[in-house]
Amino acid sequence: MTTTRTALVTGASSGIGAAVATALVQRGWRVYGTTRNPSAVKEPIAGVEYLALDLSVYASVEACAAAAGDVDVLVNNAGESQSGPIEELPMDAVERLFRTNVFGAVRLAQLLLPGMRARGYGRVVMVGSMLASFPLAYRSSYTAAKAALKGFAMAARREVAPYGVGIATVEPGAISTGIGTRRTHYLADGSPFSTEYHTMIERLDANERKGTSAAKVAATILKAIDDERPRPLYAVGSNAPLVFALRRLVPRTVVEKMVARRHGL
């Protein structure tokens, strides 16, 4: 008997989330896609059932999990992209970023994992960023949040693996999804970091415009879902195989300089 899988994909109204949701619908899966306001989705994907979710509010996370019910696959994709010199990041903005990018995603996993474990099958895919492995100046809060999300996933893998549940992190490099237009910026008037900051942002935006497509990242996420024993980490884009190999072979300071140079610093 063929089993129809159910997936919950956060941030499914655009970009990577929309590409993943589309691919899973094409497989014949039941797909829930989340967005802050389902009625405002400009181009709804046929076959996707949209649920409201604000990851920064635990009550919203819990309501979303209850509405979805039994879920076989969770793709934690939604998040905020934030930039700014560490001295000038408002702490309420950093806290919001962590609630959205880390705590909300972890809480959603907490609510859905018991059912996966009881049914003997499940997949949780955390969509991270290569910045967690290759930190970049003026992206400290975002880098830290993605590293924290990966840390939760890496440590929790062993806990649930005996029950048929796999947890993996997918780290995309530069992605061509228009995310730069939605990035939050924190830079004080007259900041001493202004020139370098704008140089970095301009280069970052340029790299993203030439970056990996959402469809290619989605294909990597589907591989993490399909693998019988999902790997801890899947990286895609930005010459991932080469740069991860270099990371193992050369001193960290050299890698740090390479990342900086790629962004005009």
What is the structure's pLDDT at 108? 98
Q: Look up residue 185 and give its amino acid.
A: H
For residue 134, give every residue at least 6 positions away whose Cβ sits within 8 Å of its Cβ, in sequence order, or none: 243, 247, 255, 259
What is the structure's pLDDT at 238? 65
pTM, whole model, 2 decimals?
A: 0.94
| Statement: residue 15 has pLDDT above 70 | yes
- Condensed to tens digits (0 to 9), the pLDDT of residues 125-150 reads 999 999 999 999 999 999 999 999 99
Q: Using DSSP, state whether 53 is helix, strand or coil.
A: coil
Q: Shortest CA distance to 243 belongs to which of 131, 144, 125?
A: 131
Phi and psi angles of residue 133, each rounded to the nearest 5 degrees, phi first: -100, -25
| Statement: residue 3 has pLDDT above 80 | no
**Which band of pLDDT confidence, cut at 50, 70 and 90, is reported for residue 16?**
very high
Active-site positions read: 142
Dihedral angle sign, alpha carbons of residues 54, 60, 66, 67: negative
Structure tokens that stand for 144 in this block? 């830290």
- Condensed to tens digits (0 to 9), the pLDDT of residues 156-191 reads 999 999 999 999 999 998 888 777 678 999 999 999
Distance of CA 227 to the CA centre of its chain: 19
- Condensed to tens digits (0 to 9), the pLDDT of residues 188-219 reads 999 999 999 999 999 999 998 888 899 999 99
For residue 39, give every residue at least 6 positions away whose Cβ sits within 8 Å of its Cβ, in sequence order, or none: none
Task: List, in order of start, the domains of the chain with CATH numbers.
Answer: 6-262 (3.40.50.720)
Among the residues of the chain, which ranges form H helices? 15-26, 58-68, 91-98, 104-119, 140-160, 194-209, 214-226, 240-249, 252-262
Dihedral angle sign, alpha carbons of residues 199, 205, 207, 209: negative
| Statement: residue 94 has pLDDT above 70 | yes
Average pLDDT score over residue span 63-90? 97
